[in-house]
Amino acid sequence: MEISSIGTDPWMVSSSFSRSQGSELHKGHGQVEAQSRRQQQPDELDTREERQVQELRKRDQEVRAHEQAHAAVGGPYVTSGISYDFVVGSDGQRYAVGGEVSIDTSPVAGDPEATILKMEVVRRAALAPAEPSPQDVKVAAQASAAEREARQELVRLERERERETDAPAGAFSGFHIDILA
C-alpha cells in the first residue's frame, strides 16, 4: 500500500506486500503449463493455483480495507480517491495487492489552530487501518511533530498578544482606588 501526500513532506506508505511479491503469486515455473491446461479446461484450477487465488483474495480484502480506512478518516484532506495496484490471478481475475490514497499533509499557513486540528486528522488517518504499517506509524509521528510545532507557535502568538495588551511600563494596571473627600 502506498499513501502519497501533498505538502512539504510527502509521505509514502509501503506495505510489506510489494507489487513484485503479488506478481509472484501468479507467475512461476508452472504458469505456461497452467495456461495450456486452462485453455483446455478453463474453469479448473490445480491445487497450487487455487491456493494462490485464495491468497490473492485475502490480500485484496486486506488492501481494500486498509486503504478505505485511510480515506474514510482522512475526510476533507483526501485529495484523490483510492488507486490500487492489481495483479491477475490464475483464475483470470484482478486482485488488489497495493494501493494509494493522497492526503494533504501541509500545515495551514498562518493558522496554527487549524494546523493542530488538521494534523490530528492526518494522524488518525495514518493510524486508521487495523494493522498500520511501519510507514503509517512514521506518518503519524510526523503529523504529531507538526502539531507540536503548531502548538508552540500558538503559545508564542498568545504571549505576543498578551504583551501588546499590557499597560505601558510604570503605569498602574488592575487597581481601582476610590478616594472620598
CA 60 from centroid of its chain's CA atoms:
18
- pLDDT interval class at 175 (50, 70, 90): low
pLDDT at 38 over 90: no
Question: Which of 131, 129, 128, 74 lies closest to 105, judged by CA?
Answer: 74
Q: What is the dihedral of CA 98, 27, 88, 101, to 10 degrees?
A: 10
So where are the chain's domains? Answer: 2-165
Grid coordinates 501588546 are at which residue? 164
- pLDDT interval class at 112 (50, 70, 90): very high
Instruction: Please give the mean pLDDT across all residues of the chain.
Output: 78
pLDDT computed for residue 26 by the predictor: 36
pLDDT computed for residue 81 by the predictor: 87
pLDDT computed for residue 135 by the predictor: 83
The residue with greater pLDDT, 170 or 181, is 181
For residues 84-94, average pLDDT: 96
pLDDT computed for residue 100 by the predictor: 86
Phi, psi of 40 (to 5 degrees): -80, -40
pLDDT in tens, 133-166: 888 899 899 999 999 999 999 999 999 999 988 7
- pLDDT interval class at 168 (50, 70, 90): low
- What's the burial of 56, exposed, middle or buried (CB within 10 Å: 0-12/13-18/19+)? buried
The residue with greater pLDDT, 112 or 6, is 112
Give the Cα-Cα-Cα angle 5, 59, 46 (nearest 5 degrees).
150
Please, which residues have CB within 8 angstroms of residue 79's CB and are 6 or more apart in sequence? 6, 102, 103, 104
Give the whole-number percent of the chain exceeding pLDDT 70: 68
Sign (positive or negative) of CA dihedral 84, 87, 88, 90: negative
pLDDT computed for residue 165 by the predictor: 85
What is the grid cell recorded at 162? Answer: 498578551
The residue with greater pLDDT, 174 or 141, is 141
